[in-house]
Amino acid sequence: MTAIHELDYGTPAVTSTTMVSLTIDGRPVTVPAGTSVMRAATMAGIGIPKLCATDSLEPFGSCRLCLVQIDGRKGFPASCTTPVEPGMRVTTQNRKLGDLRRGVMELYISDHPLDCLTCSANGDCELQDMAGAVGLREVRYGYEGENHLKLKKDTSNPYFTFDASKCIVCSRCVRACEEIQGTYALTIDGRGFASKVSPGQMEPFMESECVSCGACVQACPTATLMENTVIEAGTPEHEIVTTCAYCGVGCSFKAEMKGAEVVRMTPNKDGHANHGHSCVKGRFAWGYATHKDRITKPMIRKRISDPWREVSWEEAINYAAAEFKRIQASHGVGAVGAISSSRCTNEETYLMQKLVRAAFGNNNIDTCARVCHSPTGYGLKQTLGESAGTQDFDSIRQTDVVFIIGANPTDGHPVFASYMKRRLREGAKLIIADPRRIDLVRSPHVQADYHLKLRPGTNVALINALAHVVVTEGLANEAFVAERCEADSYRLWKEFVARPEHSPEATESVTGVPAETMRAAARLYATGGNAAIYYGLGVTEHSQGSTMVIGIANLAMATGNIGREGVGVNPLRGQNNVQGSCDMGSFPHEFPGYRHVLDDSTRNLFESTWGVALEPEPGLRIPNMFDAALDGSFKGLYLEGEDIAQSDPNTQHVTASLEAMECIVVQDLFLNETAKFAHVFLPGSSFLEKNGTFTNAERRISPVRKVMPPLAGMEDWEITVALSNALGYPMHYTHPSEIMDEIARLTPTFTGVSYEKLDRLGSIQWPCNDEHPEGTPVMHEKTFVRGKGRFLLTEYVPTTERVNSQYPLILTTGRILSQYNVGAQTRRTANVDWHEEDRLEIHPHDAEERGIREGDWVGIVSRAGETTLRALITERVQPGVVYTTFHHPESGANVITTENSDWATNCPEYKVTAVQVMPVFHSSEWQQRYRKFSEQQIALLQQSTPASA
Ligand code: SF4
Ligand code: SF4
Ligand code: SF4
Ligand code: FES
């Protein structure tokens, strides 16, 4: 069902620049050529009855309700499938058309349960509306004949119900699944009167290929496919536009409400990142916001072995501030710091770094981007001059060759994956570099032209080999390079990659990819038209993560695949606001806008605006904080929205450093793994409870809007303001828009951003300034941000994390569609129905060698630690490689990952850990300790004393 109050034009918009004039019901109308008569009529304010047409889908012409009369044409053509023509004269209403439409409706209604008054779609049903629109007054056929009224409901999906008795077989759901989502999970089974919508082979939804994106539910004009929340709560009353708080696609949603309660999240058709589509997380998995585990009272305790004591906001804030001041007085100004999260808004992360720099007086601020995309920031800044992706998502519509490296878009960035699939179905070519067979290698109507199934840790050898082919086979775009790039650095790079040791033949033993496949892929990328690279954490989370990002930028520049639509270098950011948290100065060496703290003029600007002297030396990165905690020089930590005890590598090292600190302040929704080591808990607000902005992977700043009051009484930015005030550095904001105004004043790429403009445009891609007042969809169009593009040499240095007889397999990690990172949110929703535990994927050959059967418990041992998981035997992974997700804390995936990290940014090498895997009969020692500690902490939470006690 479409969102409330939304006009449906019946067929999609057309972008032709040729205009066509016609008259509809005597009214002159001018529209782009190719527009349907139905859309043209709607644009002119004339409604034509319709059922099978909706403007998110191509016209289908099956219901025959939209018939019109066209002068000079025989019969009554369907307006949804008839394109406009110059001079056409259309009649949409007359007696004959009315009779025909009533006849159609009569047939539909004669096989429809007329329980409108008790139907969940009552008042929001297109069938009901159309019966009214065509003036249906009687049904002559009666209801006694053959019908579908007794068909059983399918309630297998936790989020929506399929009530086949209400189906009018309009195929909108089937087409939505194909055209919008690209999953092809639905078919129309049978013919004529017997035809029925069917997931898979007449399976329940949950057993079919369905990925629960909800596109079919949204497309359904009746109550056949209906959200369970609407069935329970009734139709929503008002709506507020906001942005999904999960992944870096940054889908825009309408939160549809009844009072202060969310009834449905409907993807916003006007959302520039998602154009009305979503995935299972954004559309359905928002119930965590009101989950019973939410902590809504501030709490403090002296030691982590003490029960919590609920206190007033004032006492909690004052206690935290006093503790930080005490620590600084006895251990030095640098003994405290903060870690912000990419789940926070731009305004919150800006305030966090401001608090650290201005109130703590040091630069000990870091963010979770440290452990995901920090190499992107470094690599792209060095080569192109800006730490961000180059394109907007829509750019893929012009792409001829899609090159995905180390990313799994259907799981990690599902809505963008659907765009990709659409473009691939239209004929774009596909190259995938990934150790694992991700879904896009082969899915309905999509097949990769080349799957470069490389060994984990050999990315740089691969990119050098591809560059070698480009350079030695004369495939470089010399004219582009001569005009746009540094001549000297290009010459050096060209000589470097042309060396024989970088040839595909010389490196195939390293990468494991056949030389001929590398050659063919490189040729396709260089000569196949517009080629765009999309990459993920499989690029960055390596000891050479930054080198690989540089290698990607080199390749794109050398082939001229940068600076226009359809091409580019595009990091697929994992979390909703990774881009934003980096932009906002969350790294210890940079102010907002990626300006170094050593730079005097920038520092002077911030000093004069903030009215305080600022420390010129960069502060501690996250791993340095852990080391300093263990050596006794770092004692206090303020965390907002970040669960380092689960998400950072080498868990035992992380928890030991948490235990070594004297004051840990956690601001979060739940008692997460890190909060179990905390002394102060400040209850945070979910994305539904606050105002702010997120910046997605395409640099798009989108509004986050409060749809309900914060459960704990304060929005997150207000908590940081209160803490800063208590620390003695006053902040005076009354609304996040004022924080954005300050960001705009201080950050050259944000000077044109304001809440007023965001409300007007819906979203803005930075840079947004005098030069680009409405933002910048594609970067580096005429020149690179740094002037000339710079090539850098990318020597392949094998990781020190090597396999040997003790640790013969390589473990690599990733995430799954239904869960989100540490799972704090998604584990508290019905998404667990798809993924209730992390499993270890192992190739049948490796499993057999070890006597491992499907579902067996296996121990995974690395140089850092040991854990146990159940085995999933699959050929998705290659022999010698095992894989797991990390969404459940008790899995301990990060107990085994090591502290190896990227040479430039310290981004952990999550993607390569040498391990041994063996069948076991009991959980690991760490897991047993974890369970005990966790149970103790939950008991201490339950024993917490209320504020009034
Ligand atoms: S929920 Fe999505 S994937 Fe599932 S059947 Fe509907 S459109 Fe297809
Ligand atoms: S389930 Fe809904 S969208 Fe699909 S065919 Fe039936 S009525 Fe149409
Ligand atoms: S999780 Fe990502 S793809 Fe899914 S709805 Fe949210 S922003 Fe969109
Ligand atoms: S709306 Fe045109 S045929 Fe159904």
User: What DSSP line would sit under 492-546, residue for residue?
Assistant: HHHHHHHSGGGSHHHHHHHH-S-HHHHHHHHHHHHHSSSEEEEE-HHHHSSTTHH
Burial string for 797-827 (b: 16+ CB within 10 Å, else e) reads: eebebebeeebebbbbbbbbbbbbbbbbbbb
pLDDT computed for residue 949 by the predictor: 47
Atom number, ligand 2, closest to the C-alpha of residue 52: 8
Tokens of 586: 């969350």
Tokens of 890: 């008790």
The rounded distance, in Å, linking the Cα atoms of 83 and 64 is: 16
Q: Is the distance from the beta carbon of residue 197 to the nearest atom of ligand 2 less than 6 Å? A: yes
Ligand nearest to the CA of 245: 3
pLDDT tens per residue, range 388-420: 899 999 999 999 999 999 999 999 999 999 999
- Closest to 85 measured CA to CA, from 148, 31, 157, 15: 31
Atom number, ligand 1, closest to the C-alpha of residue 199: 5
Which residue owns the Cα nearest ligand 1 atom 2? 213
Atom number, ligand 1, closest to the C-alpha of residue 160: 1
Ligand nearest to the CA of 158: 1
Which residue owns the Cα nearest ligand 2 atom 4? 173
CB 653 within 8 A of CB 374: no
Q: Is the distance from the beta carbon of residue 176 to the nearest atom of ligand 2 less than 6 Å? A: no
Atom number, ligand 2, closest to the C-alpha of residue 186: 4
pLDDT computed for residue 106 by the predictor: 85
The rounded distance, in Å, linking the Cα atoms of 654 and 644 is: 7
The residue whose two tokens read 């003695």 is 728
Q: Is the distance from the beta carbon of residue 186 to the nearest atom of ligand 2 less than 6 Å? A: no
Q: How far is the CA of 105 from the centre of ligand 2 (A)?
A: 15
Q: How far is the CA of 592 from the centre of ligand 2 (A)?
A: 49
Q: Which helix (H) or strand (E) holds 424?
A: helix 414-425
Q: Is the distance from the beta carbon of residue 824 to the nearest atom of ligand 4 less than 6 Å? A: no
Displacement of CA 632 from its chain's centroid (Å): 38
Rg (CA), the chain: 29
Q: Is the distance from the beta carbon of residue 171 to the nearest atom of ligand 2 less than 6 Å? A: yes
CA distances from 269 to 13, 377, 673 (A): 12, 31, 37
Q: Is the distance from the beta carbon of residue 226 to the nearest atom of ligand 2 less than 6 Å? A: no
Please give the order of strands across the beta sheet that includes 160-163: 153-154, 160-163, 225-227
The rounded distance, in Å, linking the Cα atoms of 830 and 836 is: 10
Atom number, ligand 3, closest to the C-alpha of residue 249: 7
Tokens of 219: 């497309």
Atom number, ligand 3, closest to the C-alpha of residue 576: 7
CB 593 within 8 A of CB 747: yes
Q: Which residues of the chain have pLDDT under 70?
A: 1-5, 139-149, 193, 948-949
Atom number, ligand 4, closest to the C-alpha of residue 50: 1
Q: How far is the CA of 270 from the centre of ligand 4 (A)?
A: 24
Q: Is the distance from the beta carbon of residue 557 to the nearest atom of ligand 1 less than 6 Å? A: no
Ligand 2 pocket: which of 8, 51, 167 to mutate (most atoms within 8 A of CB):
167
Atom number, ligand 4, closest to the C-alpha of residue 63: 4
Q: How far is the CA of 41 from the centre of ligand 4 (A)?
A: 14
Q: How far is the CA of 223 from the centre of ligand 1 (A)?
A: 16
Ligand 2 pocket: which of 50, 189, 220, 227 to mutate (most atoms within 8 A of CB):
220
Which residue owns the Cα nearest ligand 2 atom 8? 170
The rounded distance, in Å, linking the Cα atoms of 572 and 569 is: 10
Residue 166 Ramachandran class (φ > 0 left, ψ -120 to 50 alpha, else beta): alpha
Atom number, ligand 2, closest to the C-alpha of residue 127: 7
CA distances from 703 to 274, 568, 695, 698 (A): 14, 26, 9, 15
The rounded distance, in Å, linking the Cα atoms of 824 and 614 is: 35
Which residue owns the Cα nearest ligand 2 atom 6? 167
Atom number, ligand 2, closest to the C-alpha of residue 168: 7
Within 110-198, residue ranges assigned H as helices are 126-133, 172-175
The rounded distance, in Å, linking the Cα atoms of 28 and 786 is: 51
Strand partners, 867: 860
The rounded distance, in Å, linking the Cα atoms of 647 and 887 is: 9
Which residue owns the Cα nearest ligand 1 atom 4? 210
Q: Which helix (H) or strand (E) holds 558?
A: helix 545-558
Q: How far is the CA of 113 from the centre of ligand 4 (A)?
A: 22
Q: How far is the CA of 219 from the centre of ligand 1 (A)?
A: 10
Ligand 1 pocket: which of 186, 278, 410 to mutate (most atoms within 8 A of CB):
186
Q: How far is the CA of 114 from the centre of ligand 4 (A)?
A: 22
CA-based diameter of the chain, in Å? Answer: 92
Q: Is the distance from the beta carbon of residue 170 to the nearest atom of ligand 4 less than 6 Å? A: no
Q: Is the distance from the beta carbon of residue 215 to the nearest atom of ligand 1 less than 6 Å? A: yes
Which residue owns the Cα nearest ligand 1 atom 6? 216
CB 124 within 8 A of CB 1: yes
Ligand nearest to the CA of 199: 1
Which residue owns the Cα nearest ligand 3 atom 8? 251
Ligand 4 pocket: which of 63, 82, 97, 175 to mutate (most atoms within 8 A of CB):
63
Strands (DSSP E) contained in 268-400 are 299-300, 309-310, 336-340, 365-367
